[in-house]
A and B are shown apart, each in its own frame.
Chain A
Amino acid sequence: MDLRFTEEEIAFRDEARRFFREDVPEAIRRKVLEGRHLAKDEIVRSQRILNARGWAAPHWPREWGGQGWTPVQTYLFQDEMQQAGVPAPLPFNVSMVGPVIAEFGSEAQKRRFLPRAANLDDWWCQGFSEPGAGSDLASLRTKAVLDGEHWVIDGQKTWTTLAQHADWIFCLCRTDPSVKKQEGISFILVDMRTPGITVRPIQTIDGGREVNEVFFDNVRVPRENLVGEVNRGWDYAKFLLGNERTGIARVGTSKARLRRIRELAGLELRGGRPLIEDRRFREKLAAVEIELKALEMTQLRVVADERGRARGKPNPASSILKLKGSQLQQATTELLLDVVGPHAMPLAAQDEGAGRNEPGIGPEYAAVAAPTYFNWRKISIYGGSNEIQRNIVAKAILGF
Chain B
Amino acid sequence: MDFDLSGDQRLLKESVDRLIADRYGFEARRGFMAEPEGWSRANWARFAEQGLLGLPFSEEAGGFGGGAVEIALVMEAFGRGLVVEPYLSTVLLAGRLLEEAGEAALVGRIAAGELLAAVAHVERHSGWNLGDVATRAAPDGDGWRLSGTKSVVLHGDSAEQLLVTARTADAQRDRDGIGVFLVAADAPGVARRGAATQDGQRAAEIHFAKTPARQVAFAGDALATLERVRDQVIAALCAEAVGVMAKMHAITVDYLKTRKQFGRAIGEFQVLQHRAVDMYVALEQARSMALYATLMAGEADARARAAAISAAKVQIGRSGRHIGQEAVQLHGGIAMTMEYKLGHYFKRMTMIEEMFGNADEHLERVATAESIL
A sample of 9 inter-chain contacts (CB < 8 A) reads: A1-B2, A2-B1, A282-B368, A286-B366, A290-B363, A291-B315, A294-B289, A295-B285, A400-B253
- Asked whether A290 lies within 8 Å of B314 as measured between CB atoms, the reply is yes
Q: How far is the CA of A32 from the CA of B274 in the complex (A)?
A: 34
Interface 0/1 of A270-286, CB less than 8 Å to B = 00000000010011011
Check if A394 sits within 8 Å of B274, measured CB to CB.
yes
| A390 interface residue (CB < 8 Å to B) | yes
Q: How far is the CB of A74 from chain B (nearest CB, A)?
A: 13
**Per-residue CB proximity of B346-368 to A under 8 Å, as 1/0?**
00000000000000000110111
Q: A293 to B3, alpha carbons, bound, how many Å?
A: 16
Name which of A60-68, A183-191, A192-200, A317-325 contacts chain B: A317-325
Asked if A289 lies at the interface with its beta carbon under 8 angstroms from chain B, I say yes
What's the minimum C-beta distance from A269 to chain B, rounded to whole angstroms? Answer: 19
Q: What residue in chain B is nearest A258 (Cβ atoms)?
A: B373
Q: Complex formed: what's the CA distance from A296 to B312 in Å?
A: 13
B257: chain A residues within 8 A (beta carbon): 399-400
Would A293 and B311 count as touching, CB distance under 8 A? yes
From 258 to 289 in chain B, residues with beta carbon under 8 angstroms from any chain A beta carbon are 267-268, 270, 273-274, 276-278, 280-281, 284-289
Asked whether B338 is an interface residue with its Cβ less than 8 Å from the other chain, the reply is no
Chain A interface mostly helix, strand, loop or mixed? helix
Is there an interface contact between A2 and B274, defined as CB atoms closer than 8 Å? no
Inter-chain contact B281/A324, CB cutoff 8 Å: yes
Q: Which residues of B contact A297 (CB under 8 A)?
A: 288-289, 291-292
Task: Tell which of A2, A4, A286 touches B363, judged by Cβ atoms closer than 8 Å.
Answer: A286
List 8 other contacts, CB 8 Å, given A258-B373, A296-B373, A400-B257. A258-B371, A283-B364, A286-B366, A289-B372, A291-B285, A294-B292, A300-B3, A399-B257
Min CB distance B13 to A, Å, is 12
Contact across chains for B273 and A398 when beta carbons are under 8 A apart: yes
Query: In the complex, which residues 283-318 of chain A have their Cβ closer than 8 Å to any Cβ of chain B?
Result: 283, 285-287, 289-298, 300-301, 303-304, 317
B residues in contact with A324, CB < 8 Å: 281, 285
Residue of A at shortest CB range from B360? Answer: A283
Known: A289-B366, A289-B373, A294-B289. A317 touches B274 (CB 8 A): no
The one of B9, B273, B363 that contacts A390, using a Cβ cutoff of 8 Å: B273
Residues of A within 8 A of B268 (CB): 400
CA distance A400 to B279 in the complex (A): 14
Name the distance in Å between B7's Cβ and chain A's nearest Cβ.
13
The residue that A293 contacts in the complex, of B256, B276, B280, B292, with Cβ under 8 A, is: B292
CB distance from A132 to the nearest CB of B (A): 21
Chain A residues with CB under 8 Å of B292's CB are 3, 293-294, 297
Question: In this complex, what residue of A is CB-closest to B364?
Answer: A283
By a CB distance below 8 angstroms, the chain B residues around A304 are 1-4
| CB of A5 within 8 Å of the partner chain | yes
The answer to whether B276 touches A292 (Cβ under 8 A) is no
Neighbouring A residues of B286 by C-beta, 8 Å: 294
Instruction: Give the chain A neighbours of B288 by CB distance below 8 A.
Output: 294-295, 297-298, 301
Across the interface, do B273 and A391 meet the contact criterion of CB distance under 8 Å?
Answer: yes
Interface check B69, CB cutoff 8 A: yes
Question: Does A287 contact B295, Cβ atoms closer than 8 Å?
Answer: no
What per-residue 1/0 map shows which CB atoms of A383-394 lie under 8 Å from chain B? 000010011011
A9 at the interface (CB under 8 A from B): yes
Partner of A287, one of B5, B6, B291, B314: B314
Complex Cα spacing A300 to B270, Å:
30
Closest to B274 in A: A390
A294 to B238, CA, bound (A): 13
Please give, as numbers and ranges, the residues of chain B lying within 8 Å of A262 by CB-CB distance: 371
Q: How far is the CA of A387 from the CA of B294 in the complex (A)?
A: 33
